[in-house]
Amino acid sequence: METILVKITPEDSGSAYKDAAQLLKENQVVGIPTETVYGLGGNAFSEEAVKRIFEAKGRPQDNPLIVHISEFDEIYELVSQVPDTARLLAEKFWPGPLTMILPKSDKVPLCVTGGLGTVAVRCPSHPVANRLIKETGLPIAAPSANLSGKPSPTRASHVYSDMNGRIPMVIDGGDCAEGVESTVITLATPVPKLLRPGNITISQLRQALGQVDVDDAVLNPLKSGERVSSPGMKYKHYSPDADIVVLCGEYKAFCDYVNQRKSDDTYAMVFDGEGDGLAVPCITYGTSGNYKELSHALFDSLRLLDEKGARVCFVRCPDRSNDDNLAVLNRLLRAASFKVVEL
């Protein structure tokens, strides 16, 4: 299959949107920009489209998809019961990088939810995504547009490199503003629970709702046989080809540890302003203490390691005592398969 890459801006005339919407209505899969990461979009009501998404991504069938809508009222078609908490969160954070898990309606096929009775819903703020959903007139199921297991794509070129030959169209809507996937919260439990941290932080959620629990799997590896709240937690994630090791401690100790282990194709990933005293090539991923900068650069930096042919990369650990860093920590720990060294 030939994959076309089409640049679309929010102001474009309708025809570019019409072509993409036409493909979606025909149950084809289209790479679409969102403010978090690029998604692999398809008609959420079509089993055929959903099957194509799973095939293109190489994703296990029990890992459910997020369904994207263009405004709050479209939720009623997808969800059997809309609690006040969902309305409240939508008022504060939609359109934007927040996904809510709610009991699904009969219209949502089980293949979208991986057989679960709940569905994940999100209203993206990216103007291209929003307009495309409106133009298509359908809810759009979309996982991140990477091949399963690879870092999520934050640029159209990432999607093209993973999906070339697998889907008919990738829309280039520019680089993603957030760079990390949406926060996922379930409202289908007695107490709302954070399942995947993102740039809507746990403190923002608690400010809105009061008590919000954090799922154990956010920062811990699964114990064998443990039941997961979110199937995505089971799988190896966000991994570049390089072996990632997260080092926690002071910069001086980081340099000593890395320099003692220097060999060919060893890299370091450090904060902006660091690098002095390191005997290996390094890439930076933002200002320490600025979670938005770190999450914006993380996936891009992981992909850059592969482009450079890195075999091992030691990464500076963000401050674990600051809950705003949960999203970056969660992704880093998974990229490292939980290989963490306390210095």
Q: Candidates 44-52, 137-145, 254-262, 329-337: pick the segment binding Mg ion (CB under 5 A).
A: 137-145
The rounded radius of gyration (Å) of the Cα atoms in the chain is 20
Distances (CA, A) of 337 to 57, 229, 252, 328: 21, 19, 25, 14
Q: How far is the CB of 68 from ligand TXA (least distance, A)?
A: 6
The residue whose Cβ lies closest to ligand TXA is: 232
Q: How far is the CB of 143 from Mg ion (least distance, A)?
A: 5
Are 207 and 192 in contact, with CB atoms under 8 Å apart? no
Task: Answer yes or no whether residue 231 interacts with ligand TXA by CB under 6 A.
Answer: yes
Among Mg ion, ligand TXA, none, what binds residue 301 when CB lies within 5 to 8 Å by partner kind? none
Task: Answer yes or no whether residue 182 interacts with ligand TXA by CB under 6 A.
Answer: yes
Task: Answer yes or no whether residue 79 interacts with ligand TXA by CB under 6 A.
Answer: no
What is the spatial distance between Cα 51 and Cα 4, in angstroms, rounded to a whole number? 21
Task: Answer yes or no whether residue 195 interacts with ligand TXA by CB under 6 A.
Answer: yes
Of the two residues 131 and 334, which places its CB atom closer to Mg ion in the complex? 334
What is the spatial distance between Cα 176 and Cα 199, in angstroms, rounded to a whole number? 13
What is the spatial distance between Cα 77 and Cα 59, in angstroms, rounded to a whole number? 26
Of the two residues 110 and 279, which places its CB atom closer to ligand TXA in the complex? 110
Task: Answer yes or no whether residue 99 interacts with ligand TXA by CB under 6 A.
Answer: yes
What is the spatial distance between Cα 192 and Cα 212, in angstroms, rounded to a whole number? 5
Largest distance between two CA atoms of the chain? 60
What is the spatial distance between Cα 227 and Cα 229, in angstroms, rounded to a whole number? 7
Task: Answer yes or no whether residue 181 interacts with ligand TXA by CB under 6 A.
Answer: yes
What is the spatial distance between Cα 70 and Cα 47, in angstroms, rounded to a whole number? 21
Task: Answer yes or no whether residue 148 interacts with ligand TXA by CB under 6 A.
Answer: no
What is the spatial distance between Cα 29 and Cα 23, in angstroms, rounded to a whole number? 7
Among ligand TXA, Mg ion, none, what binds residue 29 when CB lies within 5 to 8 Å by partner kind? none
Task: Answer yes or no whether residue 36 interacts with ligand TXA by CB under 6 A.
Answer: yes
Q: How far is the CB of 232 from ligand TXA (least distance, A)?
A: 2
Write out the two tokens for 75: 């939720």
Q: Which of 20, 78, 100, 142 binds ligand TXA (CB under 6 A)?
A: 142
Q: Which of 43, 144, 199, 266 binds ligand TXA (CB under 6 A)?
A: 144
Angle made by CA atoms 57, 269, 143, in degrees to the nearest 5: 20
Count of other CB atoms within 10 angstroms of residue 138: 24
Q: Which of 64, 96, 179, 192 binds ligand TXA (CB under 6 A)?
A: 64
Of the two residues 36 and 144, which places its CB atom closer to Mg ion in the complex? 144
Task: Answer yes or no whether residue 201 interacts with ligand TXA by CB under 6 A.
Answer: no
Task: Answer yes or no whether residue 293 interacts with ligand TXA by CB under 6 A.
Answer: no
What is the spatial distance between Cα 63 and Cα 93, in angstroms, rounded to a whole number? 25
Q: Which of 144, 186, 266, 330 binds Mg ion (CB under 5 A)?
A: 144
Range 46-53 contact pairs with CB under 8 angstroms and sequence separation of 24 or more: 46/109, 47/109, 47/111, 49/24, 49/141, 50/109, 50/111, 50/112, 50/141, 51/111, 52/27, 52/28, 52/167, 53/29, 53/141, 53/142, 53/143
Q: Which of 8, 30, 66, 302 binds ligand TXA (CB under 6 A)?
A: 66
The residues, any chain, with a CB within 8 Å of residue 127's CB and separated by 6 or more, are: 10
Among ligand TXA, Mg ion, none, what binds residue 37 when CB lies within 5 to 8 Å by partner kind? ligand TXA
Of the two residues 113 and 266, which places its CB atom closer to ligand TXA in the complex? 113
Note the residues at the interface with Mg ion (CB under 5 A). 144
Note the residues at the interface with ligand TXA (CB under 6 A). 34, 36-37, 39, 63-66, 97, 99, 101, 113, 116, 118-120, 122, 142-144, 181-182, 184, 195-196, 230-232
